[in-house]
Amino acid sequence: MDEPRHSKQTDSEPASTESAHLEHKEEHFTASETVRDIVIGMSDGLTVPFALAAGLSGALSHTWTVVVAGLAEIAAGCIAMGLGGYLAAKTEEEHYDSEEARERWEIIHLPDRERQEVEDVLREWGLEGEVLEQATDRICSDPDRWTAFMMRHELGLEKPEPKRARNSSITIGLSYVVGGLIPLSPYILIDEMQTALTLSIIFTLIALFVFGFGKGKFMGTNAVRSAISTTLVGGAAAAVAFFIAKLIGG
């Protein structure tokens, strides 16, 4: 007796479903904070030292003086930017700890109100009736889970990484150094001032384009659009800073 056709189709469904799961791989970018730090450091490193070097080019005759001034600025900028990143991350960490302590106090002293807030969040997700009560009981049965839920879904805060402040300061500082050395490198390698300035402009624009393209790729956005916008914005910022430096330097 022949086997019914529909049974064969049913048997093949789990295999096709499993195959679909195996073929589908979700790729999410999870290093947004690191990229943000690199963007902060590189964007300033590419524009500020370039503007300084370009401004000095019109007033000085020796590239070595530009190099010395540029290296001094890169060192100062690296320290200042790195310290700024450290303080910003520490402030974020302290804010999270303060809000977490407040939530823990409220869970202990105002449990009914906090439970109601959990229910309100879950109700917005579409939970109702017995399912809502069970989910609320489950969350509120553990003070740590309860606190974490309130921090994330009521306040919208994520717990900072323990080494976030240190890593942020290092990333921003090193990115500033790398960015600053790109427009300064022609002055290090070439003695003729005008040639060094021309190459510095070319190197900076190319670096901005490549940097913007890479940023777009990593962030999952349109890489070409990111490259063009980064080049235009960075180039405009550098141009404004250049003309201000030229105006002040005479």
Q: What is the pLDDT of residues 115-156, one digit of tens each?
A: 888 888 888 888 888 888 888 888 888 888 888 888 888 888
Provide the greatest CA pair distance for the chain: 100
Task: Return the DSSP state at 141.
Answer: T
> What does pTM read for this prediction?
0.71
Extract the tokens encoding 59. 């007033």
Measured distance CA(23)–CA(16) in Å, rounded = 10
Is pLDDT of 7 > 60?
A: no
Please compute Rg for the chain using Cα positions.
28
The predicted model gives 41-50 an average pLDDT of 84
Measured distance CA(206)–CA(221) in Å, rounded = 20
Identity of the residue numbered 178: V
How confident is residue 59, by pLDDT bands cut at 50, 70 and 90? Answer: low
Measured distance CA(13)–CA(17) in Å, rounded = 6
Measured distance CA(179)–CA(142) in Å, rounded = 48
Measured distance CA(209)–CA(205) in Å, rounded = 6
The percentage of the chain sitting over the pLDDT mark of 70, rounded to a whole number, equals 83
Measured distance CA(211)–CA(176) in Å, rounded = 13
Q: How many CA atoms lie within 13 A of 223 on its CB side?
A: 8
Given a contact cutoff of 8 angstroms between Cβ atoms, the answer to whether 153 and 119 are in contact is no
